[in-house]
Amino acid sequence: MATTNIFMNAYKKPEDKLTYNFLCLIEHMENQKAFCEFLIDNKFELSESADVEIELQPSNQTDSIPDGKIFLRTSDDGECLLFFENKTHRMQLDIKQLKRHLKNYCQGKNTFLLVITPRDSDEGSVDSLNKQYDNKIVFKTWDQVAEKLKHLAENLEHLSSFLARQFVEYLCWEFEYMKEISSTEINDCCDYFKTDIHFTIRSILEGVASNIDFTQYCSISSKEWDDKDGRMGYKFILNRKYYRYRQWFFYGIYYNTKNHRIEFIKKGVPELAFFFDVDPNIKVNEYTKCREHLSQNGDFIRALGNLKKQHGFEESLTNNKITTNEYRLLFKRVPLTDLENFSYQDVRERFEKILSQLKNEEAFYQEMMAPPE
């Protein structure tokens, strides 16, 4: 019987809640082997099933109690014990506590202490301890854990992929998945404010939004500047009198992945992006919501395939691993570092080309954009 239950986290303290959720994820996810080998820095090759067993707050009646214990089975049928100490952004690393854990729990050959914190800077303190204690500590940040889970989620079955992505989202909301700002990044930030580039970008996008004749593509009820949910640009709302999915589209800068849950093409590089969105809660009829309805439309699915293959679009209707945000139906983007320049002419041409590509894909256009006759 499992030790943890994803619906029964009764802890109140943020640190205890995070510990329980993390151990719960390990116990119930598929491909425990790959994730647990990451957690132990590949010190051992684990058995295919890993035979993971979890214990919360193990105690051997000494003066220290780790947050958890993870039992692992190695490929040669040996055992590995990983004791776990969790720190959140609310709590600093306690070196004396780690020493007690090492003394009381990690004397055996295949016993280690896993320490996870949100701070890269804690690694230096752990390195110093490792020199004293024969490299018995494995150090990770919650940022590293989140990145590993996102990578694994791409190859997991739907339920385990969903659990992994939900845990990453939970880390974001608890502010554990956030990097410290380095001196180089601070200097970059200062340069950003000096140049007023934000206002230059806005003026270019305003010019584009004001000078394209959208009537040749669709019926727009309104357009508005949109600087939230990790993207900055213009939102074009289609006339809901004519469009049954409450469609809208966006064109501008995609700079933060937290809301959209779509990873950047190049890690850490914002993008010039087009998003075509729908309201997934809209019902086409009494029983069917819009995404389910669209997924049953063979011509529409083929149109999405054509847009991907011929023009480099991405979509989440048939590829639900790309994002768990069901509002984001279709998108096309390019990393800002791939642009030769960010000029009115270039940005406008890219936007009009996207609109033309959608218009020329008949099944998509008729279902999503064509104004009434």
Instruction: List, for residues 126-177, the tens digit of each pLDDT value.
Output: 999 999 999 999 999 998 998 888 888 877 666 677 888 888 888 877 767 6
Buried b (16+ CB within 10 A) or exposed e, 140-157: bbbbebbebbbebbeebe
372 band by pLDDT with thresholds 50, 70 and 90 = low
Q: Locate tokens 């890269």: which residue?
A: 120
Residue 111: what pLDDT? 94
Fill in the amino acid letter for 356. S
Per-residue pLDDT tens digits for 213-243: 999 999 899 999 999 889 999 999 998 777 7
- What global pTM score does this model have? 0.57
| Cα–Cα distance for residue pair 269/188, rounded to 1 Å | 13
Q: Which domains does the chain have, with CATH numbers?
A: 14-173 (3.40.1350), 189-368 (no CATH)
Going edge to edge, which strands form the sheet with 328-335?
A: 220-228, 231-238, 248-254, 271-277, 328-335, 314-315
Closest CA to 322 of 95, 116, 143, 153: 153
Sign of CA dihedral 9, 177, 152, 289: positive
355 band by pLDDT with thresholds 50, 70 and 90 = very high
φ/ψ of 328, rounded to 5, equals -85, 100
Calculated CA dihedral for residues 147, 139, 92, 62, nearest 10 degrees: 130
Closest CA to 363 of 269, 313, 294: 294
333 band by pLDDT with thresholds 50, 70 and 90 = very high
Closest CA to 46 of 84, 74, 85: 74
| Cα–Cα distance for residue pair 136/130, rounded to 1 Å | 6
Contacts of 45 (CB under 8 A, 6+ apart): 37, 74, 75
Per-residue pLDDT tens digits for 281-325: 888 888 889 899 999 999 999 999 999 999 999 999 998 889 989
φ/ψ of 187, rounded to 5, equals -65, -40
22 band by pLDDT with thresholds 50, 70 and 90 = very high
8 A C-beta contact, residue 205 and residue 251: yes
Per-residue pLDDT tens digits for 277-289: 999 888 888 888 9
